[in-house]
Amino acid sequence: MDVLEYMGDWGHEQVTMFSDPAVGLKAVIAIHDTTLGPACGGLRIWPYENEEEAVRDALRLSRAMTYKSAAADLPLGGGKGVIIADPHTQKTEAMLRSYGRFVEALGGRYITTTDVGSTGRDLEYVRLETAHVVGLPTTAGGSGDTSIMTGLGIYMGMKACARRTWDSDSLAGKKIAIQGFGKVAFHLAHHLLKEDADLVVADVYSDAVDRARDMGIKVVEPEKIYDADCDIFSPCALGGVLNRDTIPRLKCRIVAGGANNQLAGDADGEELHRRGILYAPDYIINAGGIINASAEIGTPYNPDRAREKTERIYEIMGRVAQISENEEIPTSQAADRMVKERLESVRSVKNLFRPH
Ligand code: NAD
């Protein structure tokens, strides 16, 4: 992989690699774009097969964070930290503190938080070495579990889609099929049940299925969820689930869920549009987690402020749907366009005052 060429093509500013053999640390931090503010994104700890895979993941995920934060109107850019290690067997205090020192060395250009393989408790060790951390547990003065606000944001995004589709944002009586019943889906379901929506869920994990049943929710086999008779399909498990095999099976008018990278490819966004299915772009409506964590920056964490910002996903999703309608383009493209416009306009403001 030609890293510099990739960076040039996708607009990345910086990739830094760190090594501390004494504690087994091999880390990569990618900073995609700091036009809107410091780059922020999670720390992924994963046993990558090789270095290239880790760099590629950091590059891909940091860019996704630029888009997510820009769309959510946050004063943040996109970044990602990656440690090559098995989080179950190799993660240690020393490794995390060493990573913290490297984050500190970037002088605030990158703010780290949790992702796959890292937890709020891990960040307490990172925090001992750097102040550039968000997403700490509430017991450490942080914003705590991100999935609560992520669930709220998806719910607000879903309501915005309902308004465009049925002229009312009420979800009462709407049939909603949820794929995956983990942390995010649980909090989403809480809001939907309060509004008397009619839910059906599928999960591959028996504890998750039991939890759904305990809440009085119908359950179907994982493979059947695509065929469910529903108004809204909500992918809350894996990426790549909207593809040429699954889209023809969907009976819904709206797709709105929390999973990252739901579209297998750009053509799948176009196919949903062609079929008249309103797709809520994943990074638009699952931004509640980063909104929540970013509410720790600068001032003490204020849950009301985080909630109010998360609820704005309703307006943001409405704007995306409006652009899609006006321009006759898929919502996936409309969202990207909205983000690029924000980045361009802020870039030009800064340029006015750049010393010559
Ligand atoms: P989670 O691990 O708690 O839940 C995922 C659930 O999906 C699990 O119960 C798992 O058993 C189930 N699952 C896996 N494969 C499945 C399949 N083939 N069919 C049905 N169910 C399946 O994770 P989470 O925190 O709830 O996150 C869910 C999704 O949302 C992920 O894609 C995540 O990247 C994304 N996301 C999460 C957050 C957050 O704040 N947690 C924020 C943004 C995006």
CATH number of residue 221's parent domain? 3.40.50.720
Where residue 56 sits, what CATH number does that domain have?
3.40.50.10860
Q: Both 16 and 157 in a single domain?
A: no
349 in any annotated domain: no
Q: What is the DSSP letter of 195?
A: T
347 in any annotated domain: no
Among residues 80, 91, 159, 309, the one annotated as catalytic is: 80
Give how far Cα 12 sits from Cα of 5, 102, 142, Å: 10, 19, 29
351 in any annotated domain: no
Distance CA 262, CA 256 (A): 10
User: What total number of domains does the chain contain?
Assistant: 2
CB 147 less than 6 A from any atom of ligand 1: yes
pLDDT for 356 equals 57
329 in any annotated domain: yes
Q: Both 36 and 155 in a single domain?
A: no
242 in any annotated domain: yes
Distance CA 15, CA 4 (A): 9
CB 151 less than 6 A from any atom of ligand 1: no
Q: Both 122 and 179 in a single domain?
A: no
Q: Which atom of ligand 1 is nearest to the CA of 150?
A: 40
Q: Both 105 and 163 in a single domain?
A: no
Q: Both 295 and 188 in a single domain?
A: yes
Q: Which residues span the domain enclosing 15?
A: 3-66+75-133
Q: What's 74-99 look like in SS3?
A: CCCEEEEEEEECCCCCCCCHHHHHHH
195 in any annotated domain: yes
Q: Both 261 and 114 in a single domain?
A: no
Nearest CA to ligand 1 atom 29: 259
pLDDT for 133 equals 97
Q: Both 57 and 18 in a single domain?
A: yes
279 in any annotated domain: yes
pLDDT for 298 equals 84
Residue 183 is among the residues annotated as catalytic for this protein: no
Nearest CA to ligand 1 atom 12: 180
Q: Which residues in 162-197 are b (16+ Cβ under 10 Å) and which e?
A: bbbbeeebebeebbbbbbbbbbbbbbbbebbeeeeb
pLDDT for 354 equals 63
CB 180 less than 6 A from any atom of ligand 1: yes
Summarize pLDDT for 261-312 with one digit per residue, the tens.
Answer: 999 999 999 999 999 999 999 999 999 999 999 999 988 899 999 999 999 9
- Residues of the chain below pLDDT 70: 350-356
Q: Both 196 and 299 in a single domain?
A: yes
- The percentage of residues in the chain with a pLDDT greater than 70, rounded to a whole number, is 98
254-255/232-235 β-pairing: parallel
Q: Both 316 and 171 in a single domain?
A: yes
Mean pLDDT of the chain: 96
CB 114 less than 6 A from any atom of ligand 1: no
Give residue for tokens 């880390």. 27
Q: Both 305 and 200 in a single domain?
A: yes
Given ligand 1 and candidates 227, 238, 241, 290, which is best to mutate, with the most ligand atoms within 8 Å of its CB?
238
Domain final residue, candidates 133, 156, 178: 133
pLDDT for 32 equals 98
pLDDT for 353 equals 66
Total-model pTM:
0.94
Task: Compute the C-alpha angle 195/197/198, nearest 5°.
Answer: 155
pLDDT for 349 equals 82
Distance CA 107, CA 212 (A): 45
Q: Both 47 and 157 in a single domain?
A: no
Q: Both 153 and 129 in a single domain?
A: no
355 in any annotated domain: no
